[in-house]
Amino acid sequence: MDVGILGATGVVGQQFIRLLDGHPWFRVTWLAASERSEGRTYAEAASWRLATPMPAWAASMPVQQAAANGAPRLLFSSLDAAVAGDIEGAFAAAGHVVVSNARNYRMEADVPLLVPEINADHLALIERQREARGWAGAIVTNPNCSTVFLAMALAPLRPFGIERVIVSTMQAVSGAGYPGVASLDIVGNVVPYIGGEEEKIERETLKILGRAGAAGVEPLAAAVSAQTTRVPVLDGHTESVSVGLREQVDVAAIREALASWRGEPQERGLPSAPPAPIVVLDAPDRPQPRLDADRDRGMAVTVGRLRRCPVLSWKFVVLGHNTVRGAAGAAILNAELMVARGLLNGS
């Protein structure tokens, strides 16, 4: 299936290129970026920041204007939020299915905010979206990077009654794009502020874990509090989490719930699905971004240091690869799920 990438030159766009190189289902045939890049090849337009070389097919591909003519039906978007709203909407109206990493539509009542292992059923919102908006296409979103990992660590705990969550993040610089964080700000330093990030974590988590119904998604009835910081790490967001549960359970039950958790991507054997969405690490000093962010090609989330919390019920550390499972890989898994469910059949 031919696919295109909106916002192909940025840090997440580059991960799309890398992850789709040799993908068994998808073939990238179309790249778009800002006007600045138009008329140049991808090699000319992109400041490639990945340790694996740019695939040759991408290097020579022309970068298009972000307009609908000639674009394939399925589009991945890592557009900047400043422009994603209009552009993604225009493509959806024109019949394209936009699988987006941008924040603009995430909290819309008729837009799935998807983590396939958690809420594949939220795809039902697409019908509502098409009716409400008159779109021939659709928009499906993945969450903010930090939110993905938190939501995945919480999802297996839903049976125990999640009531309260406090999370403190230590986020990698690749999450801010390129050039993003100035080195003078972060070498040997911690910056305890990432604009808008805490609000996203607090709101998106509850929608993801919520119940999709006729009126949109009823968010999980819980409270989430986030503090976010930037640290001098390249890839991988680390999060210290405390969670308050309604049920009394023992540590073995929590550990088993996390480690045995599987979702539709695993059942369907989607190409980008990790064997287990959550890998529980028992070494006392794990997970660590340098050692664990790439687990299962960056698609698994690692959890460690599971222990009782003297204030809420349990505490643990969760880690994920922010530009893979937290961005490009998340969108690709979303698209794979949609293909597997037949949502991209027909015209």
Of the listed 96, 122, 145, 321, which one is catalytic? 145
Half-sphere exposure of 48 (CA within 13 A, CB side): 16
Pick from 234, 249, 253, 344: which binds its own copies (CB under 8 A)? Answer: 234
- Tell me, yes or no, if 145 is annotated catalytic: yes
Could you tell me the smallest distance in angstroms from the CB atom of residue 241 to its own copies?
8
Cα 27 to Cα 2: distance, rounded to the nearest angstrom: 5
Instruction: Tell me the closest approach of the beta carbon of residue 175 to its own copies, in angstroms.
Output: 10
Closest CA to 31 of 75, 91, 88, 83: 75
Region binding its own copies by CB under 8 A among candidate stretches 24-32, 59-67, 104-112, 235-243? 235-243
Please say which residue, 116 or 326, places its beta carbon nearer to its own copies.
326
Binding of its own copies at residue 34 (CB under 8 A)?
Answer: no
Q: Which of 23, 49, 133, 262 binds its own copies (CB under 8 A)?
A: 49
Q: Minimum distance between the CB of residue 293 and its own copies, rounded to whole angstroms?
A: 8
**Residue with smaller CB distance to its own copies, 132 or 251:** 251
Reply yes or no on whether 309 is catalytic. no
- Pairs from 337-343 (Cβ < 8 Å, separation ≥ 24): 337/114, 337/116, 337/120, 337/123, 337/264, 337/265, 337/268, 337/270, 338/97, 338/99, 338/123, 338/140, 339/1, 339/25, 340/268, 340/270, 341/120, 341/123, 343/97, 343/123, 343/126
| Minimum CB distance to its own copies smaller for 123 or for 303 | 303
291-294 contact pairs (CB < 8 A, 24+)? 292/236, 292/319, 293/235, 293/236, 293/319, 293/320, 293/321, 293/322, 294/235, 294/321
Tell the smallest beta-carbon distance from residue 68 to its own copies (Å).
Answer: 32
Query: Can you tell me which of 233, 324, 328, 330 binds its own copies, judged by CB under 8 A?
Result: 233
Interface segment toward its own copies; rule CB under 8 A; list 58-66, 75-83, 135-143, 221-229: 221-229
Told to check if 268 binds its own copies by CB under 8 A, we report: no
By annotation, the residues acting in catalysis are 145, 237
